[in-house]
Amino acid sequence: MRRIACLLAILALAAPAQAQTQTQQTQTQTQMQSNVPPHAWLFGEWTGGLFPAPSVLNAQECLALPVVIFTRDIVMRAVVTDQFYDQRLVETARVTAEGAEFRFTPAPVRAPTTPFNPIPQGATGELGFGCISPDVLRVQRRTENEITFPDCKDFPYPLVRCPAR
């Protein structure tokens, strides 16, 4: 009988310690998750947008020339008339009911790089995504691997996430 009582006493003392350990683990996981930016679900390469995304796409083809690349601090986009990506520095990013919204640091005005790449007449020369404001990008999530940029004339088609290798 004494053995059973001792065993019950040990279990009773061990239970709060185990609960405290689980609570600490939960708090640590929450802290780790809070370090993840709100737009982390967008990280990676995306294709389409400028053109309809291919119905069959392998990783090598997609990663060879993605159209948009999301990182923690920068959003890059391909430009049809230039070999380089336009880069926008993320000032703030927030999650919305439809997806995400980015506010970028004010972009410098783009100057023509060559005589064959002039700024079209009537265009402002601002770097952006063809949206209402060049410093704001709204991302609408359609599915886990498909997004759109509503009200952005440069991206009339949905973008599709590049598959992993």
How confident is the prediction along the chain (165 residues), in pLDDT tens digits per residue? 666 655 555 556 555 545 444 544 554 455 455 688 889 999 999 999 999 988 888 889 889 889 999 999 999 999 887 788 999 999 999 999 999 999 999 876 666 556 665 555 444 456 788 899 999 999 999 999 999 999 999 999 999 999 987
pTM as predicted: 0.70
**CA-to-CA distance for 146 and 72, rounded, in angstroms?**
19
Side-chain half-sphere of 26: how many Cα atoms within 13 Å?
A: 6
**CA-to-CA distance for 79 and 68, rounded, in angstroms?**
10
State the pairing for strand pair 146-148/136-143.
Answer: antiparallel
